[in-house]
Amino acid sequence: MLFDAVAGSRFDSEPLRALESGLSDYFVCSHGGNPRLGHRSGAVWSAREGPDHPYIRALDHRRGFNELASDATHWDIGEVWGAAFWELRVLLGQSTVDRALAAAWQGLGDAAPTPDSRGED
């Protein structure tokens, strides 16, 4: 979400955009030490999405990939990724997980398809 809004997605594929969305949400939440993204704007979000959505994202849930619809968007899939990353943070510690995920995300940039690698000019 954050990277999409600020710099545009680095990836064209929906699975990679979902991963990127989950990572960006995780890093914002991890930095703030709160698994709930947008808790201050909960009233606005609830007015838009309904009372069951007091946060933009809540990474402290147990929703799994198998619970997603077959046509789930990168936004929905990203929330599951973000929660998985948050669970790792709880188990292994913030510093360890933040460093590992940052290194992995930076490494994905090298693996991201370029126009030439997709056969585009």
Q: Does residue 121 form part of some domain?
A: no
Q: Quick one: which of 1, 7, 38, 12 has its CA closest to 120? A: 12
What does pTM read for this prediction?
0.74
- 106 residue type, one letter: Q
The pLDDT profile of the chain, 121 residues, written as one tens digit per residue, is 334 443 444 556 778 889 989 999 999 999 999 999 887 777 776 777 666 667 788 899 888 999 999 999 888 899 999 999 999 999 999 999 999 999 988 887 665 555 454 444 4
Domain enclosing residue 81, as ranges: 2-111
Number of structural domains found in the chain: 1
Q: Does residue 93 form part of some domain?
A: yes
Phi then psi for residue 29, to 5 deg, are -65, -40
